[in-house]
Amino acid sequence: MRRLLTVLAAGVPLAAAMYLPTASAETRDPSAASPSACSAPSVKAPAGTEVESVSAADREGGTITGTGVLGGSVSGVPAYCEVTVTLTHPGDNDHSTVRTWLPVSGWNGRFQGLGGAAYLAGDNGVGLGTAVKNGYAAVSTDAGVGDALDTGWALNGEGRVDTALLKNFASRSQHEAAVVGKEVVGAFYGERPAHSYFTGCSTGGRQGYMEAQRHPGDYDGILADAPAVNWDEFEVATLWPQVVMNNEKTYPSQCEFKAFTEAAVRACDSLDGVRDGVVEDSSRCDFDPRRLIGTKVVCDGEERTVTAADATVVRKIWDGPRTASGKRLWYGVPVGADLWALAGHGDPDADGHVTGAPFPVPAAWVRLWVAKDPSLDVTRLTYDRFTQLFRQSQTEYDKVIGTDDPDLSDFRKSGGKLLTWHGEADQYIPAQGTVQYRQKVERALGGTKQVDDFYRLFLAPNTDHCGLNGGDGSADGLAALTAWVEHGKAPKTLPATLIDADGGNVTRDLCGYPRASRYKGHGDPTAASSFTCVSTPRH
């Protein structure tokens, strides 16, 4: 995920990046498996598909360089066998590629499915290489679509949504990859994997939830972080900052947005009992941006005065999209998150006009899948038009890609475990959407205690989109998940390293929802041992 944000910082904004989990849990005896020669196995087509081709190739490993806009690399990858299977759904004229990487030696007996990023359905090679390096046999699929920002597959030649490819991307290709990948593993090692895991963040997180909801037998454990569930809602909602600026005719600078965020963080820092540069449970932060009206801000050497209009824009962005009558549609950008990520814009032209710079992932969703109009200018949407598009997206796509079905009873019955962490300063996918989903599951399946038996959520303070993958800190969710699945050790907390407001490292044991971290009143505020998990109202 961090790889994508690095690209973003370079001026190519994207929605998600590749997820690179590790696992320090115990592994099986690597000498137990006896891999066969790297050759194309016989593969039975998953239901509803036909196998077009199967090939195999020996790979020497070393350094793997990621393909596409995400790039990245992983070194020290051992030799592996790559089996490539191409599938098609008769009548749909699609061609999806499933790649399974199998370590020639040192296989830990586990299988790992990898999710995608933005509009990339699977892995670009870095995640597969990381999995193999950690002893896993791993699988990924391209679903027959393209790279992270490639939306050329959205509409067919008649200007209509390509429903087959959307179905691939939304749900069926990940399931088919799991089926094919396990079959390939069995053919290569002579035995099926002892345990199967899925890992993903953002788009990959959504895919993990989809697997739990629709194909509960595919994986024993699912690590699905910052999940893009509620896709039909939040994708449209992430255009809200652009809609607000356009309709209010006010475009605060990046520097001014930062001033609002910093003021809110200062005001809410002590919610956890200590001023430590970490805002615990940002949903409880009620800082009023109007408190900054009249404040002087120095931006690029120029002194500016925060206006009432600036404060109105920030207040509306934090509050989130609403209808003209004031009914809430979705959650806003969390307090503490980078406002510029969704409220970016260009400089004023010679006539003083400012053009917004919408985040490309939701912009494409609204233009192509919702409006079916590639020429739609999403920087000029009125409040009413925005509401209409939001409702249209819900109506047309909730059942296709919403991924918010709270009935996880079959996943629970299968013995599966679902673990999620979500950054509370996520600038792209508000953590409150994930909290709302968890609450729906609790209502459907008997309450917090019953749901904790198989599904646990951890909220990470001061952490942006997929930020615990390295840039904003770290957490070994896969190790926690394997310990839960294989040894019955349910994680009460998730140890993590966070980044405080000054850029320093702090350790914190993330609390399982609905609890939150609270300072004990003594001890080093940068150390996890100085905090405890307490029950607190969650909004």
Q: What is the rounded radius of gyration, in angstroms, for the C-alpha atoms of the chain?
A: 23
Tokens of 353: 């006009």
Q: What interhelical angle do 173-189 and 203-214 show, nearest 10?
A: 80
DSSP 71-121: --EEEEEPPEEEEEEEEE-TTT---EEEEEEEESS---SEEEEE--BTTB-
Phi, psi of 461 (to 5 degrees): -60, 150
Cβ-contact 132, 53 below 8 angstroms: no
Cβ-contact 3, 203 below 8 angstroms: no
Rounded-to-5 percentages of helix, strand, coil across the chain:
35, 20, 45
Angstrom CA distances, 296 to 273, 299, 335, 404, 464, stand at 30, 10, 21, 44, 27
Tell me which residues are annotated as active site.
202, 426, 465
Instruction: Please give the DSSP secondary-structure letter assigned to residue 371.
Output: S
Three-state DSSP string of 453-476: CCEEEEEECCCCCCCCECCCEECC
Q: Calculate the CA dihedral of residues 177, 180, 181, 183 and round it to 10 degrees.
A: 160
d(CA 169, CA 145): 7
